[in-house]
Structure 1
């Protein structure tokens, strides 16, 4: 039994490769308190290259909040503080950052991340106030290696945002969002993201004419998801024919109009989205 190898005796590279697969909660509250060897391994930036905050509970009464406050002897816990903690551990090597969608993150957190995460490849934006949306383009433009961007609602500065992506993010290949996709939005996608490979506009208001233009203008699409959209029928013959060259085309549940609305022409498109 005395000759059995112990976890703390494992080569640091191997230990880091295992620990980096754990959740942020485990990295912050579990691993560092096992032993000194695990603590050293948990401090390696590689362990903090994937920063996924979406499934963590940042409410004041959550176990995460209580444990972090106790173990790190902080007087007040906040998402901003936890974000700074994680980014400090990543040392600028974070390649994926996914903000919580429901609670905690602010626009200032996004601004801070734009300075501390220069190597991001995947970004999931938090919910952003309308007043802050005009500032999104200049922030996104800082991530030169950005490949994939996800957001809940289409920002008012969408055209400027994709223009900055075109100018600064040479490897960009994937976009996910929903909202009222208008003609000017489609023109911006075709003009600035003509080589995009993965596009997800599910749950949007998207008319057939705009969808067809996207298919025609973005000829390198490998994945196009327009599930549960309002504005075209899922079995629309022209749409299916034009999308036949796309490897993965998803349009389940899409309808010409919302069945709960009496007159599509009198409806605000944003009010008839299928959420």
Structure 2
């Protein structure tokens, strides 16, 4: 019988097998654990394939978290910053990243977004938390860098949504859908209808929007395949609305309602938005 005492080492495993195993891991393991096992593991884990989808929502990024402490230790950093981790992820993507989603707890600075626009030209999906009012104009200038952008998701509606829609209509020929939440007014709707009328998916769940604006969307975006207005305030899906929406494959309106005190609610929302913007600025300064 042949000698069976030969020892099999993990580092001798075929690279294809390692790739399959590593594809099941998250960004935390790929950046802090796997690269420091051996040279072959480091080589495989740094492949751009694993950084095509960069979802920061799945990570605990607070400076006191175990991940942050390990990351700082492994890369000999005096302290953890979100920008340092993002730069590592983007560098390893080598321009192949096609989806980036930021955590609402750790919103990116405009410098970080500028870096992403330059290093990730093939981006198709972008998920953003609240964008500070002062940065909304600067964000407009970045859209032209993402000509392959197909889906934009924002935790709150920017005040310059019409201008953003215009830039998308000019530069992003493959764009098909957007998800936003906030106070949707006539100018916002006209921006969508005027500049991206061929949009296929529009998710306004949880927003405040009137019946007139809903009808304008239904009349102006004839290629909609899915319209989500769940839990919206300001209109009810009456017979007229449902009749106009008959051509849409998926029309979601569960929980939508009219409130008599909508204006008071809107004013309160504006006050809260200003407060959140203030805390965003304070937190961004602390992180950097």
Structure 1 length normalisation: TM-score?
0.90
Alignment partner of 1:267 out of 264, 269, 282: 264
1:252 has 2:249 as partner: no
1:183-208 CA-partner distances (Å, limit 9, x unpaired) = 11111111111111111111111111
1:120-155 CA-partner distances (Å, limit 9, x unpaired) = 000012322111111221112210100000111111
Instruction: Point out where structure 1 has 5 or more consecutive residues left out of the alignment.
Output: none
Alignment partner of 1:100 out of 79, 100, 103: 103
Q: What is the aligned partner in structure 1 of residue 89 from structure 2?
A: 86
Q: What is the aligned partner in structure 2 of residue 181 from structure 1?
A: 184
Q: What is the aligned partner in structure 1 of residue 200 from structure 2?
A: 197
5 Å-filtered alignment, 1:1-275, equals 8-103=11-106, 105-233=108-236, 235-257=237-259, 263-264=261-262, 266-267=263-264, 269=266, 271=268
**Which secondary structure state, in structure 1, belongs to the residue aligned with residue 209 of structure 2?**
coil
Aligned residues: 267
Report if aligned partners of 2:100, 2:127 keep a CA contact under 8 Å in 1: yes
More helix by share: 2
Q: Distance in 2 between matches of 1:244 and 1:270?
A: 34
**Which secondary structure state, in structure 2, belongs to the residue aligned with residue 170 of structure 1?**
coil
Instruction: Point out where structure 2 has 5 or more consecutive residues left out of the alignment.
Output: 271-288
Report if aligned partners of 1:136, 1:157 keep a CA contact under 8 Å in 2: no
1:12-34 CA-partner distances (Å, limit 9, x unpaired) = 34533442342111211222233
Q: Distance in 2 between matches of 1:58 and 1:88?
A: 19
Structure 2 length normalisation: TM-score?
0.86
